[in-house]
Amino acid sequence: MISEKMVKAINDQINAEMYSAYLYLAMKAYFESQNLLGFANWMDVQTKEEMVHAMKFYGFINARNGRVQLGAIEKPPFEWASPLAVFEAVYKHEQIVTDLINKLVDLAQGEKDHATVSFLKWFVDEQVEEESNDVAVIQKLKLVQNAPGGMFMLDNELAQRVFTPPAVPVQ
């Protein structure tokens, strides 16, 4: 059985994951308005991944006989100064999500909820990948900052990213 405290914390995480999807959708719209369709594609993949994350948490609560309670999703920003500013915001946001996941792990460990600790390991590993991907794009953006041809090439590279749904059900 999962505690009410843990259920509330995971419900809050569902909201955070849904906000992440909403934020990345807003970033996709920004990139589309700039005709950077490769960057928009990257954000589209991120949006879909965040929805999968939210549904993994949703399924976990249900599997543990908890009650999913959805809350309002905060309005995301919709304007940024540059593609670099967008990805710096992405990285900062993912650091916040990492902190939220770490706090969930701390809570689960404190409650001796081994099933939730085990479940959260996937998210801990995922956050390492998320932050690493963000830093890689930021570094490339800094390299091509004053080179329009480089930005064109980076846009083409980001267009190649493909969403791969999880091989196993989300819960």
pLDDT in tens, the chain (171 residues): 899 999 999 999 999 999 999 999 999 999 999 999 999 999 999 999 999 999 999 999 999 999 999 999 999 999 999 999 999 999 999 999 999 999 999 999 999 999 999 999 999 999 999 999 999 999 999 999 889 899 999 999 999 999 998 775 555
Distance CA 11, CA 67 (A): 9
Q: What is the pLDDT of residue 171?
A: 58
Domains of the chain, CATH where assigned: 4-72+80-158 (1.20.1260.10)
- In this prediction, residue 168 carries a pLDDT of 59
pTM of the predicted structure, to 2 decimals: 0.94
CA distance 23 to 4: 28
